[in-house]
Amino acid sequence: MTGRERVIACLKFQGPDRVPRDLWTLPWVILFQKDEYERLIEKYPMDISRPQLSPVWRDDVVEACRQVGTYKDDWGSIWQVGEPGVIGEVKEPALGDLSRLSHYRLPWHLIESRDYDMINRRCEESDLFMLSDVAARPFERLQFLRGTENLFIDLAYGTAEIQKLIQMVHEYYLQNVESWCRTSVDGIVFMDDWGTNNSLFISPQMWREIFKPLYRDYCDLIHSHGKFAFFHTDGYVADIFGDFIEIGVDAINAQIFRMSIEDLARRYKGKVTFWGEIDSQHILPLGSAEEVYDAVMRVRRALDDGAGGVIAQCEWGKHYPVTNIETVFKAWLEPVERTL
C-alpha cells in the first residue's frame, strides 16, 4: 500500500497492511536535530505529509524561534520566545482592548495569497496522505487576539463584542476551510486545545452552545467536498470526546494518556480513528525506552486489532531522547504480546 492508501484504509476500518505513521516536530528539532530527524524518517518512512508548512514552521517564524525575543504574527499579536526552538506565547494580544474591534481587519491575505497550484502539484506528485495546514482554531485564535484571561471573562459575560468577534473569526475560518477543500489534499485539519490535565477549560454546556456548532460547520463543509476531517486537541477532553464523533470528525489527535485509554477504546473504538498519541508530558521526554515501549503496547492492546482506526503518531519536542522516538515506531511493528 502507498501511504495514502494505508491511511484511507485506516480511516475506513478496511484493514491497512500496517498502522500508518505520523511524526510531529517542534521547531527545535528542525533547527538543531535535523540530521537525526532525517535518519529516523529514512528508517521509518511516514505515511502522512503536508503540501505546505504551517505558518508556525514558516522560515521567518522558525528563525524567530532560534533565539529569545519577540515577533508579530499575521493577526497582529506579539509573541515572546522564552527559549530557543520553542514557539513561545502571546504577550501583547492584538485585541487586548476590544474598543479596537470596529477597526480590526482579519488577515484575508493569507488565504488570497496561498499558492494553490503548488499545493495541488505537490499532492498529485506524492503517494502520501496529504493534510492541509491547520485551517481553523477558533478558541485558540480568540485567546491569541484577546488574551486568555480576557477571553474567559468575555465568555462568562457573553457580551455583544465577543459574539461579534467569534462570528468574525468563524467566517474567516469557514473561508479558509473552503479554500483548502478545493485543493487536492486528502484531509483538512482543525484544532483547539480544550483541556487542562484533568478537566475542560469551560463547562461542557458552554462548549456545546458556543463552539460545537462551529466545528459542525467545518465538518459538514469538509465532508461536502469528499475530504476527511482531522481534529487535534490537548488536555483532558473525555467529557466532549463523543461530541467530536457526533459532528463527524474522522480522526482525533488527543492526549489520551490524560484520560483512560481503555475507557475511550471501550466507548469509541470503531467509531473514529485515534490519531495518536504517546504521552508527551512525561514518557517521551523523561521516560526510558522500556517505558516508551510499554506505553505504545498499552495503546495497541486497547485499539490495534488490525482493522484500522489507529495511527502511530507522536510528537518530537525539545530534548526528547532520539531513542524514545525511534522506540515508538519500532514498537508499532512488534507483536502486541511481546515485552522487552
Say which DSSP state 202 is in.
S
Q: Is 332 helix (H, G, I), strand (E, B) or coil?
A: coil
Domain total of the chain: 1
Q: Is the preceding peptide bond at 277 cis, omega within 30 degrees of 0?
A: yes
Q: What's the CATH code of the domain at 214?
A: 3.20.20.210
Distance CA 185, CA 130 (A): 5
Residue pair 176/55 in contact (Cβ under 8 Å)? The answer is no
User: Is residue 67 one of the residues assigned to a domain?
Assistant: no
| pTM for the model | 0.95
Q: What is the pLDDT of residue 106?
A: 97
- Residues 289-316 as b/e (b if ≥16 CB within 10 A, e otherwise) read bebbbebbbbbbebbbbebbbbbbbbbb
User: Is residue 337 one of the residues assigned to a domain?
Assistant: no
User: Is residue 262 one of the residues assigned to a domain?
Assistant: yes
User: Is residue 132 one of the residues assigned to a domain?
Assistant: yes
User: Is residue 105 one of the residues assigned to a domain?
Assistant: yes
Q: What is the pLDDT of residue 53?
A: 62
Q: Is 157 helix (H, G, I), strand (E, B) or coil?
A: helix
DSSP one-letter string for 245-294: HHHT-SEEEE-GGGS-HHHHHHHHBTTBEEE----TTTHHHHS-HHHHHH
Q: What is the pLDDT of residue 64?
A: 65
User: Is residue 184 one of the residues assigned to a domain?
Assistant: yes
Distance CA 271, CA 318 (A): 34
For the chain, 340 residues long, the average pLDDT of each consecutive 10-residue run is 98 98 92 94 97 62 74 94 86 96 96 95 97 97 98 96 98 98 98 97 98 98 98 98 98 98 98 97 97 98 97 95 98 75
Residue type, position 122, single letter: R
DSSP one-letter string for 83-105: STTS--EEEE-TTSSGGGGGG--
Single out the residue of 177, 40, 13, 168 nearest to residue 105, CA to CA: 168
Q: Supply 170's cell numbers.
A: 468563524
Q: How many helices (H) and strands (E) does the chain have?
A: 16, 11
Angle at 134 between CA 183 and CA 77, to 5 degrees: 125
Q: What is the pLDDT of residue 224?
A: 98
Distance CA 35, CA 39 (A): 6
Strand partners of residue 230: 189, 251
Q: Supply 72's cell numbers.
A: 508579530
Compute CA distances 33 → 57, 220, 321, whole Å: 15, 39, 11
Q: What is the pLDDT of residue 27?
A: 85
**Residue 1: its H or E element:** none
Single out the residue of 275, 228, 230, 229 nearest to residue 256, CA to CA: 275
User: Is residue 163 one of the residues assigned to a domain?
Assistant: yes
User: Is residue 177 one of the residues assigned to a domain?
Assistant: yes
Distance CA 84, CA 54 (A): 19
Domain ranges, residue 190: 3-54+97-331
